[in-house]
Amino acid sequence: MNRIDESRPFVPLGIAVLTISDTRTLADDKSGDTLAARIEDAGHKLIERAIIPDDRARIYDTVHAWTLAEDIDVVITTGGTGFTGRDVTPEALEPLFEKRMDGFSEVFHRISYDKIGTSTIQSRATGGVANATFIFVLPGSPGACKDAWDGILKPQLDYRHMPCNFVEIMPRLDEHLKRKG
């Protein structure tokens, strides 16, 4: 079903990783480390990496600024997708989405279900597009980051992945902004 077309070139993307946590630092951010290592191992460029607290405005402002950066094609966040009072990442970022990616959440939960069963319902992983930038909102566990990267993001962020991938549609993500009415 899925395959890599070796006749196509690999296209490295610029990716930013944002960890949302009131307690983590770069020294103990295992989820951010997991994503950073996988991004670089795949041949992409880690352009930005930051940790900020569970604060709706700061999450929105950071991701919004990254979507405006010319060298960032993808933003991946980790943390803040649960149901506790401090978990506000989906609420912070969904208003930014010009288009929501319901399939990302569905496939993430399918993969997660095979590993952790019904506990997957405690995550509100989501994805979308803003300012011609892909945004993926992941739970704050290294396992969830591995599942999302290995099962969805790595293949979809590879131009060689067939029958289709996110990279080949990137030039058209902002078509609606160029239309004249």
Q: How confident is the model at residue 174 (pLDDT cuts 50, 70, 90)?
A: confident
- Between CA 57 and CA 89 the distance in angstroms is 10
Mean pLDDT of 131-137: 97
pLDDT value at position 5?
95
In a domain, 37, yes or no: yes
In a domain, 118, yes or no: yes
- Tally of domains within the chain: 1
pLDDT value at position 2?
80
Mean pLDDT of 38-43: 98
pLDDT value at position 180?
54
pLDDT value at position 179?
52
Q: How confident is the model at residue 175 (pLDDT cuts 50, 70, 90)?
A: confident
In a domain, 68, yes or no: yes
pLDDT single digits (tens) 66-97 = 999 999 999 999 999 999 999 999 999 999 99
- Domain range for 93 is 10-170
Q: What is the CATH number of the domain that holds 160?
A: 3.40.980.10
In a domain, 3, yes or no: no
Q: How confident is the model at residue 6 (pLDDT cuts 50, 70, 90)?
A: very high
pLDDT value at position 107?
98
Whether the pLDDT of residue 181 is over 70: the answer is no
Nearest to 136 by CA among 176, 166, 114: 166
Predicted model pTM: 0.96
In a domain, 176, yes or no: no
Sheet containing 74-78: order of strands? 45-52, 14-20, 74-78, 133-138, 126-130, 99-100
In a domain, 103, yes or no: yes
pLDDT value at position 52?
97
